[in-house]
Copies of this chain bind each other. A is one copy, B any other.
Amino acid sequence: VVDMDELDQRHRVVVIGAGFGGLFATKALKRADVDVTLINGTTHHLFQPLLYQVATGILSEGEIAVPIREILGKQRNARVLLGWVDHVDVAARTVTATAPGLSYTVEYDTLIVAAGASQSYFGNDKFAEFAPGMKSIDDALELRGRIFNAFEMAELETDPAAIERWLTFVVVGAGATGVEMAGQIAELAHRTLPGQYRRINPKQARVILLDALDRVLPAFGDHLSTQGLRQLHRIGVEVELETKVVDVDATGIEVDTKSGHRRIESMTKMWAAGVAAPGLSRQIAEAAGAETDRAGRIKVEPDCTVPGHPEIFAVGDMMALDQLPGVAQVAIQSGRYAARQVKRRLAHEGPDKPFHYFDKGSMATISRFSAVASIGKFRFAGLLAWFLWLGVHLLYLVGFKNRLTTVLHWTVSFIGRGRSERVATVQQIFARTALKETGDTGGPAPSGPPKRLS
């Protein structure tokens, strides 16, 4: 362990990332005699589990992305810096980050690496353009624009095949994120949009959920997989299992199934299939002589430290430990664990027990009034699970920040049929801000002569 007595200044903790792991580690150091520097690539802490609700117009981005400075404003031993961490020098104990137009270096005595995970296309990064992931506010706003614009474009098309292409939505990956996304697009098409179009019927939209595995929601166990599948079918989602994506382009997606190769024509695809640790993870592992797993996560000691570097903790989605799932609770608990170790060391309390993940359970909504939840030995499906989901999220939101607007938006969407946040920007529609009154749309040029819409 680090000898604290060598230091003639306050112990400096640098935390990389303000997701669940980094934020909760920082908060847990509130009363510690340390200086904390939290570095993040955006100015907000993102409540990622509700990202799909921004992508489908239920919530505004501000409701799930809270300014880090607002959360930590009163924590006087913490400072927040905007920056994208490029490099950790494990020998010099410095972190280098880039902000627009400048870069900077900060020194650490203890480093907590909590940079999360990014979407993985399993080596096919070119898919990203055609099938955005579901990890950031950027992703959610991009998908929101694509989903709502698809209905607009269908309304303008005259060719039946083109209309069908615009009204086919493909979600890749049937874990919680993919299931929730597919469910909400189906609700949008069946409950919110009907009556608002004149030429198309939004109810004819197809929502296809693909997965390479043989079940949906595999992490929830056999019983809830079956229940989840039944609920998805009931709201009209087409689930195609044992289906592997081999290519994605602007107008469709190519898949291999048991019965052979097939193409699905679809303008709107989204990717919720895999995650990988950011490049920073490998950089740190290499510099520290540590190993990474297949997803690029650092193989840590039982106390979440990088082997040979007790001063570096990797937490949440950046640590490979006991095959723990990539969920918020793992990040929160490991972040807090790391903070506790820092405090123990400063108090010379000696080594703690290894990190132990306490599984509080998991849940996924499928549509309004319908969810699955797994808590301890108990399995819930349907309405009861949905109320559990609602209760847990209301509790969390009230503790986190008093978010009455969120409750109102849920009322609008779940009791009513509305979606309060449907804005697509001109940039999203026409692919470029430069569009003003010039008629220069910047987007794809019209192909062929003008269609006559009578």
With contact pairs A69-B196, A196-B70, A409-B405 given, residues A447 and B101 touching in the complex (Cβ less than 8 Å): yes
- Shortest C-beta distance, A265 to chain B (Å), equals 15
| Docked-complex contact B196 and A453, CB < 8 angstroms | no
Q: Is A291 an interface residue (CB 8 A)?
A: no
Cβ-closest chain B residue relative to A148: B43
Cβ contacts A28-57/B at 8 Å (1 or 0 each): 000000000100011110000000000001
Cβ-closest chain B residue relative to A438: B279
| Docked-complex contact B62 and A62, CB < 8 angstroms | no
How far, in angstroms, from A449 to B105 measured CA to CA in the complex? 10
| Docked-complex contact A62 and B104, CB < 8 angstroms | no
| Docked-complex contact B60 and A424, CB < 8 angstroms | no
Interface size of A by CB at 8 A reads: 97
Cβ contacts A254-280/B at 8 Å (1 or 0 each): 000000000000000000000011111
How far, in angstroms, from A352 to B126 measured CA to CA in the complex? 61
Q: Is A204 an interface residue (CB 8 A)?
A: no
How far, in angstroms, from A418 to B62 measured CA to CA in the complex? 12
Q: Is A197 an interface residue (CB 8 A)?
A: yes
Q: Is A107 an interface residue (CB 8 A)?
A: yes
Q: Is A323 an interface residue (CB 8 A)?
A: no
How far, in angstroms, from A98 to B441 measured CA to CA in the complex? 8
| Docked-complex contact A107 and B439, CB < 8 angstroms | no
| Docked-complex contact B155 and A199, CB < 8 angstroms | no
Which residue in B43, B60, B446 is a CB contact (below 8 Å) of A103?
B446
- Shortest C-beta distance, A420 to chain B (Å), equals 5
Among the listed stretches A74-82, A222-230, A231-239, which one makes contact with chain B, having 4 or more residues with CB under 8 Å of it? A74-82
| Docked-complex contact A104 and B152, CB < 8 angstroms | no
Among the listed stretches A135-143, A299-307, A339-347, A365-373, which one makes contact with chain B, having 4 or more residues with CB under 8 Å of it? A135-143
Cβ-closest chain B residue relative to A437: B278
Among the listed stretches A177-185, A391-399, A428-436, which one makes contact with chain B, having 4 or more residues with CB under 8 Å of it? A428-436
Cβ-closest chain B residue relative to A97: B450
| Docked-complex contact A421 and B61, CB < 8 angstroms | yes
Q: Which 9 A-B pairs have the closest CB atoms?
A: A278-B437, A60-B60, A62-B421, A69-B196, A103-B446, A79-B198, A101-B444, A100-B443, A82-B152
- Not counting A43-B148, A100-B443, a sample of 10 additional A-B residue pairs whose C-beta atoms are within 8 angstroms of each other reads A44-B424, A62-B421, A72-B196, A73-B195, A82-B153, A99-B156, A100-B153, A101-B446, A102-B448, A141-B425
Interface residues of A (CB under 8 A from B): 37, 41-44, 57, 60-63, 65, 67, 69-70, 72-74, 79-84, 86, 96, 98-107, 115, 118-119, 128, 136-138, 141-142, 148-149, 152-153, 155-157, 193, 195-199, 276-280, 404-405, 408-409, 418, 420-427, 429-431, 433, 435-439, 441, 443-454
